Structure 1
C-alpha cells in the first residue's frame, strides 16, 4: 500500500495540533508523577518516545520527541498511553495516522478532543449515552447530562467529572457511617482538637464579651452596642455581633501532636538527632535565645519534649483596599521540629483570627492566647506520649515573635513612624526634623 500520504498527513494542521496535545498530556503527567510544580519549566524533562523507531523504549527530551513524531510518525499499536500517565481506560487518540484507507476524511479530529478529561469520564459518558439511546422522548434533554459527564469536577481534576462526582456522593449516602449533618461533623472535629471559640468583641476594641462581660449588650467602657448597628436606618440587628474574635485553642492541638508516633519522635529531634556544629546556625536550637532559656530555666530544658514557639501576627487586607474589612491573624510555629518540618503548613497553627484592625488594643484580643501560654509555661498540662507510651507534663515557652515593623508597633503599643517612632527607645527616641 502506498503510504506516501502519511508524510503529507504529518504536516496537516490536525496532526500538528495532535502532537502538541500529546506532548502537553505527557509532560503534565510526568510532572504529577514526580511531584513537580506544574509551572516549572526550568527542569529538563525526558519522556518515552512513541515514534515507530523508539517505540517507548528510549527516553528523549521533549524537543526530540516532538521531532521524532513528525520525522518518523507515531507507533500505530500505541493506543493505550500507559507509558505517559494513562492508567485504565484508553483515551481517544490525539495523534492518529490512518493506516487502512487513503481517504483521510475518516481521520479523527484531535481538535475536538479534551486531554483534560478525567479517568472515569469514558465510563460515565457511556452510561449516559446508553440511557439516551433507550429514551423514547425528547433526546435533547440528555444534552446537559452528557456535557456534565465529560466536564471535569474542577480545573485540573483527573479523577472525577461533574456527573460522576454526584453519582459517587449518592452512593455514599447508602448504608454508610458518615455524619448526617454539618453539626455532627463539627462536633467530631472539635473532639479531635480542631474546633474554635467565637467570642464577641467591642466594636472599638475595648473588651471581649467573656467572663464578667458575657451577658452585656453594650460595652461598659464606650457604651457602643454589642450588636451590629445601621446608623442610617437607626436599626440594631440583634444577634449579629459588631465584631468577633475566633480563637483556636492551642492546648488540645499541642496534646494531639503527641498522639502520632512519627510526629512525637520529631518533636525531640533537636536533642536526639541534631548535629551540633559549633559556630554554625543550622537550627533555632543553635540560637542565643534557645541557650538563654536553657540557662534560665534548667527544669524546662531537661525535658526535650517541651515546646519552643515562635509567634507571628499581621494584618491581611481581604477586600481589595478597604481596610475596614481587613483581618488580623496570629500564627504559632513549633521550633522543636527538624528544619525541613518547622515551616510546613500542617505544623504552623492558626491561633487567632481578629475581624477588623485591632490597632494598639490588640492585647484585648490576645488575652485568651496569652492565658493558655501562661498556663502551659507555669504549670504545664498532662499529656500522653504515644511513642514513649507514658504521660508527662508538657510546658511551652515563646522564644520570639516574628513581625514586620508596623505589626511590631501594634503589638508593642508604640507608634512605628513619625515622632518617637522607635519601639525600642520610645519616649527617648532622638529625632531631628528635616527642613524642606
Structure 2
C-alpha cells in the first residue's frame, strides 16, 4: 500500500517533523519498489528529471521541498491497480486518500473559481452557466470519461499523450489523422470516445488554452494583416497580393470552404495568457522566485541574476524589483537583423 501523502501539503516543511518522516516513508517505498540504487528526484529543483541516491534525494526534498502535484508516484513504482493510501480524518476514522489526477489538477489551476466542484454531472445545479463554466464542465467531463469502458486513460489524457508523440515525431496533421482513424476503426471498441481526426482533437483541447492565433503576413515579410490592416488584399509596402493565385485562371485560390488561402501565415502564441498561466499553475508559480532564492556565491555565475546587467536593472527599476515574482522578458533575435545593416556582422564575444 502506498504511504500516506498528507505530508506533501505541509507549508512549513523545514521545521515540521512529520514532513521529514513523510520523506523517509516515500524513500522507503520508492527504493523498495524500484530495487535500484538511484531514483528520480522529485524536488522543485530537479522536477523528476535528475536522478540521485537516497542521501541526495532526501537532502533535496528537505531543502527544496517536494512537487506537490506529483501525487501519483508513477516514476517511483506506483501502479494504478495497487490499493490507495490511507489517512485518518478528523474523527479518527480511516478514509481513502484519492490520487489527485494530473488532468484534474491542471483544470483546477486553469479555473480556480470552480475548485469546489466535485463532479461535472451536477443535476441539482439548474442555474444557467456562463461561458467559462461551460468550458470548465466540458473539460472536466473529458478528463474523467475513459476512452472506452474499462480503459485506464481518460479521453483528454489520451489525446494529450498522442499529441505529444505527434510533436516529438514531427508527424504531419494528415499522418496523425490516419493514426486516429486506425485506432478508432480497427483497434478500439465500437463505443470508444477518441476522435478520429486531428481537427476534432484540437476542438476538444481548445479550451485548455494550448492553441494559437493565425495572422496573415506579406509574402515578403513587409507587414502583418492585423488590426487596421486586417481587411487589406495587398501589402502597403511592396504591393504583393495577400492571397495565393491559381496559375490556371489567375484568380485567388480558395479552400474547400470557399475561403481564400493566404500566401503566408504567422502563428502567434498570445504572451499575456502565458504569463498569466505562470501564476495560475502551482508548479511554475513556485519557480518565479527561483532567481532570488538561488543566487550564486560571489564570483560564480550560473544565471543572469548573477550578472552585472541584471544588477544594474535592479538599481534602475527599484519598484519593479520589489516583487520577485515580476517577469523579465528577453528578446532573442536568433540571427535576425532588425536594422537592415547588411554590410556588417555583429560578433558576440565572451
For the aligned pair, the TM-score class normalised by the smaller chain equals 0.3 to 0.5
The TM-score with structure 1 as length reference comes to 0.33
Rg larger in 1 or in 2?
1
The TM-score with structure 2 as length reference comes to 0.41
